Amino acid sequence: MSRTSWSLAALAAVAVAGGGGFVAGRADLWPFNASKTQVDAATAGKPEAAVLYYEDPDGKSDYSPVPKKTTDGRDYRPIMAPEEPAKAAPAVAPADRKIKYYRNPMGLPDTSQKPKKDSMGMDYIPVYDGEDTDDGSVKVSVGRIQRTGVQTEAVSERVIQSLVRAPGTIQLDERRVSVIALRAEAFVEKVEDVTTGSQVRKGQQLLRAYMPAAVAAAAQYSVTGPSANGNGARQRLMNLGVPEGVIKDIERKSDTPIAMIWTAPRDGIVTERNVVEGQRVDAGQVLFRVADVSVVWAMIDVAERDFSSLAVGQTVSIRAKGQVGRVFAGPITALYPQINRETRTGRARVELANKDTALLPDMYVDAEIDKGSGASVLAVPESAVIDTGGKQMAFVDKGEGRFEPRDLVLGARGDGYVEIRSGVEKGESIVVAANFLIDAESNLRAAAKSFTAGEAPK
């Protein structure tokens, strides 16, 4: 027999009997009765011991339920019950406790008022007074609690830091981008020494161009001056986008310039240059694009499951892959009302100060958003929660081996803990390890009750 199959058989017997070891304590129940004579011979001189199984003398993964020899004639080593205390004989009922009935060791809906064996020869398990209550609690012996490693922890208040992590990129603030374009046909006479990537200041000269429509309006304005007719000429200059400084020069000098100067409308970086000297340009053609990068946006893509927990105004920590060791922080200023169908993410916009221009457009960043409130909340370890699919529950230690199941309403999660909005109270002791064993015991007893409800145990 292979190690796996024999081990599973041995463990099944121990688990079902609650550590009782029906085979170990009852030689007459040994499943291989045909070899009982061999078993008796192997255990001669050991009246208090019983053989559980036989193990290869060299420690190999080979086991046998009956005495066996190796190929070279050596006996397999018997594993006796005393060597495995967890497989001791079935517990005897204490004198001061009364047995109510016996339940099926395999969890089947079958009970008996007298000791009984199932079809496999396994003893039915006694149920004592106080163990099978109507309040839904589960009674587990102290020995079994120790063997299964049940651990508890007091319910307490703590601050749960629940972080949402998301990737993103740096983008220009759309409100801080300006375009330099002429509003009428013109000819470029000169372009200043400004290229893509150059930093410019507001009012700095960019180009000089001859615009016939602007020259005609300037000529009229220089002749009439600030009269009623002159005001109309001035308005035409403004409509053609002639810079205010050029218009004031015309007023002061009463002279008509042939070529006019266009300047940068804001401080920033030139992100586009589409003009050269001598070029003829059309109305509306983009000649320069200038962007103010003192403030930029981080566009982050948040998983759909976390997107609904975000809100405008939340602070976000940003780490740029190109700026190791630096952390930038800023508020969420917009949550875009659409989910990307391919990536199942929602987009959030974070505004970041960028005075030293460390953050560059299209730079990759990682974002962290703490969606916790920062306030102390009632919390338990995540391991304490049993999720059945339809509800979440936990077991509260009521003392003396009794555990009460409680339905929970959960909140935020983080740092290995989960917020409890209802279900348990502060200071109560809750099971945080091996709770699945108590849950199995609870389900077993519930099943037995559902089949025996309204019937006297047989």
Per-residue pLDDT, averaged over 70-96, amounts to 64
* Max mean pLDDT range (157-171, 332-346, 417-431): 332-346
How far is the C-alpha of 409 from the C-alpha of 328, rounded, in Å? 36
User: Residue 245 pLDDT more than 70?
Assistant: yes
| Strands ordered across the beta sheet of 77-80 | 63-64, 51-55, 77-80
58 pLDDT tier (thresholds 50, 70, 90): confident
Distance between CA 308 and CA 305 in Å, rounded? 7
Rounded distance between C-alpha atoms, residue 84 and residue 87, angstroms: 6
Least confident of 67-76, 132-141, 249-258: 132-141
pTM: 0.56
Rg of the chain (C-alpha set) = 42
Q: How far apart are CA 458 and CA 452, in angstroms?
A: 10
Q: What is the mean pLDDT of residues 87-109?
A: 62
d(CA 211, CA 233): 15
Tokens 């339905």 sit on residue: 407
Residue 232 to residue 177: CA distance in whole angstroms: 31
For β-strands 111-112 and 392-399, DSSP reports them as unpaired
Q: How far is CA 30 from the centre of its chain?
A: 51
Please compute the mean of the pLDDT values over residues 135-159 and round it to a whole number: 78
The yes-or-no verdict on residue 85 having pLDDT over 70 is: no
Tell me which range, 6-20, 118-132, 311-325, 385-399, is most confidently predicted by mean pLDDT: 311-325
Two tokens, residue 96? 């001061």
Residue 347 has pLDDT above 80, yes or no: yes
d(CA 154, CA 145): 18
Query: Is the pLDDT confidence value at 457 over 50?
Result: no
- The answer on pLDDT for 15 being more than 60 is no
Cα separation, 227 vs 251, in Å, equals: 11
Q: d(Cα 434, Cα 140) in Å, to the nearest integer?
A: 12
Per-residue model confidence (pLDDT) at position 52: 73
Q: What is the pLDDT at residue 180?
A: 95
294-330 burial, b at 16+ Cβ within 10 Å, e below that, comes to ebbbbbbbbeeebbeebeeebebbbebeeeeeeebeb
Over residues 159-176, the mean pLDDT reads 92
pLDDT grade for 39, boundaries at 50, 70 and 90: very low
Over range 63-74, report the average pLDDT. 86
**Residue 316 pLDDT more than 50?**
yes
Whether residue 443 is predicted with pLDDT greater than 90 in this model: the reply is no
Which domains, from first to last, does the chain contain? Answer: 1-90 (no CATH), 140-158+375-452 (2.40.420.20), 165-173+293-370 (2.40.30.170), 183-284 (no CATH)
What's the rounded mean pLDDT across residues 51-76? 82
Residue type, 407: D
Q: Is the pLDDT of residue 448 over 70?
A: no
Instruction: Tell whether the model's pLDDT for residue 137 goes beyond 80.
Output: no
Q: What's the pLDDT score for residue 416?
A: 86
Determine the average pLDDT of the residues in 102-106.
Answer: 74
What are the C-alpha distances in Å from 71 to residues 45, 139, 160, 289?
A: 26, 50, 63, 89
pLDDT value for 62: 77
Q: 191: pLDDT confidence band, cut at 50, 70 and 90?
A: very high
- For the segment 305-321, the average pLDDT, to the nearest whole number, is 92
Q: pLDDT > 70: what percent of the chain?
A: 77
C-alpha span between 196 and 458 (Å, rounded): 93
- The three-state (H, E, C) secondary structure of the chain, written as one string: CEHHHHHHHHHHHHHHCCCCCHHHHCHHHCCCHHHHHHHHHHCCCCCCCCEEEEECCCCCCEEECCCCECCCCCECEEEEHHHCHHHCCCCCCCCCCCEEEEECCCCCCCEECCCCECCCCCECEEEECCCCCCCCCEECCHHHHHHHCCEEEECEEEECCCEEEEEEEEEECHHHEEEEECCCCEEEEEECCCCCCCEECCCCEEEEEECHHHHHHHHHHHHHCCCHHHHHHHHHHHHCCCCHHHHHHHHHHCCCCCCEEEECCCCEEEEEECCCCCCEECCCCEEEEEECCCEEEEEEEEEHHHHCCCCCCCEEEEEECCCCCCCEEEEEEEEEEEECCCCCEEEEEEEEECCCCCCCCCCEEEEEEECCCCCEEEEEEHHHCEECCCCEEEEEEEECCEEEEEEEEEEEEECCEEEEEECCCCCCEEEEECHHHHHHHHHHHHHHHHHHCCCCCC
Q: How confident is the model at residue 439 (pLDDT cuts 50, 70, 90)?
A: confident
Least confident of 30-44, 221-235, 387-401: 30-44
pLDDT at residue 268, as a whole number: 94
Q: Mean pLDDT highest for which of 133-142, 173-182, 445-454? A: 173-182
pLDDT score of 122 more than 70: yes
Percent of the chain's residues with pLDDT above 90: 39
pLDDT attached to residue 93: 52
Q: Are 102 and 112 in contact (CB under 8 A)?
A: yes
227 pLDDT more than 50: yes
The token pair at 48 is 């208090």
Residues with Cβ within 8 Å of residue 313, at least 6 apart in sequence: 331, 332
Q: What is the mean pLDDT of the chain?
A: 80
* Confidence (pLDDT) at 20: 39
Among 11-15, 367-371, 372-376, 427-431, whose mean pLDDT is lowest? Answer: 11-15
pLDDT exceeds 70 at position 22? no
Predicted pLDDT of residue 304: 94
Strand 125-128 with 99-103, pairing: antiparallel
Region 433-444: mean pLDDT is: 72
**What pLDDT, on the 0 to 100 scale, is given for residue 279?**
96
- Look up residue 178 and give its two tokens: 């300006």
